Amino acid sequence: MRHIRLLVEYDGTGLCGWQRQANGPTVQGHLEAALAQLLAHEVTVTGASRTDAGVHASGQVASFRTERTIPLHGIRRGLNSMLPAAIAVAEAAEAADDFHPRFSATGKHYRYLLLTRADRSPRWRDRAWHHRGPLALDAIREAAGALLGEHDFSAFRAAGCTATRPVRRIDQIDVGALAGEPSVVALDVRGKITVP
């Protein structure tokens, strides 16, 4: 059985997040529907992160299994011709049988964007949270320091959380305006994942 790893990019504006839903378009739902059409069998796609509605991804990792012999570039191109404009596959690769997008991840990078000016911005409307005024970046940097390292995030877990342990490590938090966009502040949060 082949195991295929995908690198998926999406604009989450009109999507109800990653996870398949009975009602409403999702990334997983679109990928599974396109793969079922391409491969002519039912497919379950596993993702590295279940992003929320409106969240975008530049490199979401996902995988699925198939016995079809269609080459990798055929999978990538086929998917990109069938998926809606909001979703695309940037890479398709053979993966080891025991690869898992979530459990094999060695690190994650989340970027949070904030528009910090009085007026709304047409160019950032679906990409940044609007905070109507400047932010104290030094104070945010100082507070972010308290999150670095290993911490127990039990208080932030959802009731049905299936993670085996609540301890997570954050290695780096960068806070600063985007190049050429002085009113857009990025919070870049990076963590490596250590096997317990």
* Binding mask of the shown chain, residues 120 to 149, with x at each position contacting a second copy by CB under 8 A: xxxx-x------------------------
Verify whether residue 52 is a known catalytic residue: yes
The two tokens of residue 105 are: 């991840």
Only segment of 38-46, 117-125, 136-144, 150-158 that touches a second copy (CB under 8 A)? 117-125
Only segment of 4-12, 98-106, 141-149, 152-160 that touches a second copy (CB under 8 A)? 4-12
Residue 178's Cβ-side half-sphere holds a number of Cα atoms within 13 Å equal to 15
Given the residues 52, 126, 152, 174, select the one marked as catalytic.
52
CA distance 10 to 55: 9
Query: Using the rule CB under 8 A, which residue among 2, 3, 11, 65 binds a second copy?
Result: 11
Only segment of 3-11, 35-43, 95-103, 143-151 that touches a second copy (CB under 8 A)? 3-11
Chain positions 39 to 98 lying near a second copy, rule: CB under 8 A, are 56, 58, 76-77, 80, 85-90
125 versus 192: smaller Cβ distance to a second copy: 125
Q: Is 10 in the site for a second copy (CB under 8 A)?
A: yes
Chain positions 172 to 191 lying near a second copy, rule: CB under 8 A, are 179
Q: Could you write out the DSSP letters of every residue in the chain? A: -EEEEEEEEE-GGGS--SS--SSS--HHHHHHHHHHHHHSS----EES--PPTT--EEEEEEEEEE-----HHHHHHHHHHHS-TTEEEEEEEE--TT--TTTT--EEEEEEEEE-SSS--GGGTTTSEE-SS---HHHHHHHHHTT-EEEE-GGG--TT---S--EEEE-EEEEEEETTEEEEEEEEEEEE----
24 versus 145: smaller Cβ distance to a second copy: 24
Interaction site with a second copy (CB under 8 A): 9-11, 56, 58, 76-77, 80, 85-90, 117, 119-123, 125, 179
